[in-house]
Chains A and B, each alone.
Chain A
Amino acid sequence: MEDIKIGIFICHCGTNIGGVLDIESITEYAKTLPNVIYATDNIYTCSEVGLTEIRDKIKEFNLNRVIVASCTPRTHETLFRNTCQEAGLNPYLFEMVNIRDQDSWVHMKEPEKGTEKAKDLIRMGLSKATLLRPLEKVKVDINPSALIIGGGISGMHAALNLANQGFQTTIIEKESELGGNLKLLNKLYPIQVDASKLLEIIYLVESHRNINVLTSSIPVKVEGFIGNFETTIKKNKQISKIKTGIIIIATGAKALNPEGLFGYNGKTVISQLDLEQLLKENNVKAQNIVMIQCVGARNDERPYCSNICCMTALKNAMLIKEMNPNANITILFRDIQTQGTTYEDYYRKAREKAILFVKYSPEKPPLVKDSVVEVYSELRNLIINIPYDLVVLSTPLIAHEDSTKLAKMLKIPQQGNKFFLEAHVKLRPSDFATDGIFICGSAHWPADVRESISQAYAAASRASRFLSKDYLEVEGATAEVDTEICIKCNICIKICPFSAISKNEEGEIVVNKILCKACGVCGASCPVGAITILHFTDEQIISEILSCGVGY
């Protein structure tokens, strides 16, 4: 049992603490606490003078625990930990007590009670500090290479950005060619450029010395963690394995086939995707065209808006009008989604080209009859019959059927409609909660080419933060499983939001120190107490409770 030698530094923070609490009395009290070898007060402990004193006293008295009673650890813990480390003391043997933001500043009218509170808090902090153990940060090597699952527009741009930065990148693509959904498209909004033009980067991708393309390939197993993923790939019948530092998901989505909806027959009632093909072949002979938006979307089964269908309908309508100015085109819509500057301008142009718009409500959807489409116009409060020789149904993008398989393989979550679920919808839209895996394009949420390319670069940016480092250093204060006590109930594995706990080859439960974020939920949930949360152990927390100043 080591000899505990504690040094306590109590800060005045000018008059912020010193002007309210009785620092002298607190310091005298601190000296009476068990194992305290040195106790002093400073005007500003965080100043050079204060920090130097901490370093000097650690060395002079061989202190093996340091406590600073001052402001909040949320701003200053790192500074003091570094100071301890500079003096040769393990930074995890430092404890901070908040006697300013949560004491002197909020009890200005009750200074005696504030002083008593400070003494209690210091005693609690000291009791925890006595039980602290030295910890080391964990280093893990990073394999500076990337695996991109999906070779569409998104996957390819992510690959180019990473490859240009010097990282070996492998793209695995399910089909026999790169290009994804773009291969099926005719022209792209908002400038009606040929889709094939944007596919010209295939040449750059295939010839890049840092990119390896594997077509007709799918992932079958993924093991490992950030910096050290090992993916098993199947190409035709052949199995191979690849080791990479990170993985980017760029598997895209597919357009819903409107089979069974609105009389879809592939001839006179077709989908927008069918129309793309007809336009490519210059084979649109129809004179009277009705487009129906939100087919199979914004309903109970798919309560979402697919983002791109309004612009797609506008684009195809304008292309047809260009080729055949006499064509009559009517778009039946619920809300036109053309946000921002460029897209709103596009919508205005479409209206200027005499494309007609009729709003319908989901309670009274249009009826596709033999030669007319019957729709109830809310605006005019009457039923309109629009003659047609072609009906085009705008359907949403939906998640691929094999996305659930991929989600399970990578242990990443999906949301309600099976699109992948990112770490934080606002602040980390390209990351997953599991470190080292990223996402871009329509696999995340229906996205058009512009957005898919933006997201590709964003995912590459997020990934390159790790790939550019030789090693990753993570916090040493993590969770640990005692395999002797563990009963293998697997509760911890399921409860960890970061997929940091798993079974190793011997069937034992282990915590991956790299992925663990030390939230402590596993520790509180283990039925048999087999998990220790370092730096916030049960004993440390209970010792704080028991020393808070009650006895009976």
Chain B
Amino acid sequence: MDYEPKILGFLCNWCSYAGADLAGVSRIQYAPNLRVIRVMCSGRIDPIFILEGFLKGIDGFMVLGCHLGDCHYINGNYEAEIKIGVLNKLLKLIGFSERLILDWVSASEGNRFAQVVNEFTEKIRDLGPSPIKDEKYKINITDELNVIKSALSDIRLRVFIGRKRSIITEGNVYGEVISEEEFDKTLDQAIYDEYIRNKILLKIKNKSKSVLEISKEIRVEPNRVLKHIICLKSRGFVDFDKIIDIYPKFISIKEE
């Protein structure tokens, strides 16, 4: 079966969509694998959209916005950069990071638009079809994608993302301005923690398990797993189910 990459692109109305139109007006030819979804601003993109696409089997995603500083809505593209940055970190954790790019194309860059599309299409062609379409990896990839989708739907990471710019420019509620490196250090830890926590939740979704069982399945030390369980319990996502031998078993009570 011939593999033709299926690529989805979010293009912002004022810059990249206009750049794509300019490529058209100039008759610049490029690979026909891209399917465009028009949005008003790249800042509109919730990372969840991209994950829904990957779960459905899309081979590659492009998010193209205005060059930094040129956003029609002033700072939408900065927000997009933050969101896609966090998404990319999570995708890297599950080994799925090559299939998403964020780039900037202005309304006058018809040539560049075609170039970016062609380069990405080739890259996705070389990577092969999304592993979710391969029976061997389907279940594992689906689970992992659902784990990070869950992590990105929860309040904690979303608040980090939503607050980043204001904390590193104006300061937090105590008036302290945090540098971007400091913020990112804390955020990186949160990204990793939330990934593990949602992985744990997936493992104990329908069947209660002990800390030791979970630890073996996800390959994280038991004391760390216990800390995550306690945190999830305080969030009301996990409850104690029963005790077998001396090992308590926990089950997910999080509503989907």
Contacts and interface: CB of A to CB of B under 8 A. Distances in A.
A108 B114 CA distance: 14
Contacts, number: 155
Nearest to A533: B44
Given A497-B74, A545-B52, A124 B35 contact: yes
A274 interface: no
Contacts of B165: 495
B58 A548 contact: yes
B123 interface: no
Given A100-B24, A542-B49, A74 B37 contact: no
B39 to A, nearest CB: 6
Interface in B145-183: 153, 155, 158-159, 161-163, 165-166
Interface in B173-225: none
B73 A107 contact: no
Nearest to A492: B162
A491 interface: yes
B198 to A, nearest CB: 15
Contact of A120 (B35, B43, B114): B35
B160 to A, nearest CB: 9
B133 A552 contact: yes
Contact of A121 (B18, B36, B40, B43): B36
Interface residues of B, number: 55
A525 B13 contact: no
A121 to B, nearest CB: 6
Contacts of A536: 39-40, 44
Interface string B7-47: 01000010001101101110111101001111111011110
B76 A519 contact: yes
Contacts of A489: 159, 162
B6 A541 contact: no
B124 interface: no
A105 B162 contact: no
Contacts of B30: 106
B56 interface: yes
A124 B37 contact: yes
B46 A538 contact: yes
Contacts of B43: 519-521, 524
B35 A549 contact: yes
Contact of A523 (B17, B23, B37, B44): B44
A482 interface: no
A376 B72 CA distance: 48
Is chain B's binding surface mostly helix, strand, loop or mixed?
A: helix
Contacts of A550: 6, 56-59
B42 to A, nearest CB: 9
Interface in A501-552: 517-521, 523-529, 533, 536, 538, 541-542, 544-546, 548-552
A102 B21 contact: yes
A90 interface: no
A106 B28 contact: yes
B46 A524 contact: yes
A335 interface: no
A548 B32 contact: no
A498 B75 CA distance: 11
B32 A113 contact: yes
A541 B162 contact: no
Contacts of B28: 106
Given A519-B43, A551-B57, A106 B23 contact: yes
A417 interface: no
Contacts of A110: 32
A157 B162 CA distance: 43
Contacts of A491: 159, 162-163
B132 A74 contact: no
A100 B18 CA distance: 13
B53 interface: yes
A350 interface: no
| Nearest 10 A/B pairs, CB to CB | A520-B44, A101-B24, A519-B73, A521-B43, A491-B162, A527-B158, A113-B32, A497-B74, A105-B24, A550-B57
19 contacts: A72-B21, A103-B32, A113-B4, A117-B35, A124-B37, A433-B74, A489-B159, A519-B40, A519-B76, A520-B39, A521-B43, A524-B46, A525-B79, A525-B161, A533-B44, A541-B39, A546-B56, A550-B59, A552-B138
Given A113-B4, A550-B56, 17 more contacts: A98-B36, A102-B24, A106-B27, A106-B32, A107-B32, A492-B162, A497-B75, A518-B40, A519-B41, A519-B43, A523-B46, A527-B162, A538-B49, A548-B53, A549-B6, A549-B35, A550-B6
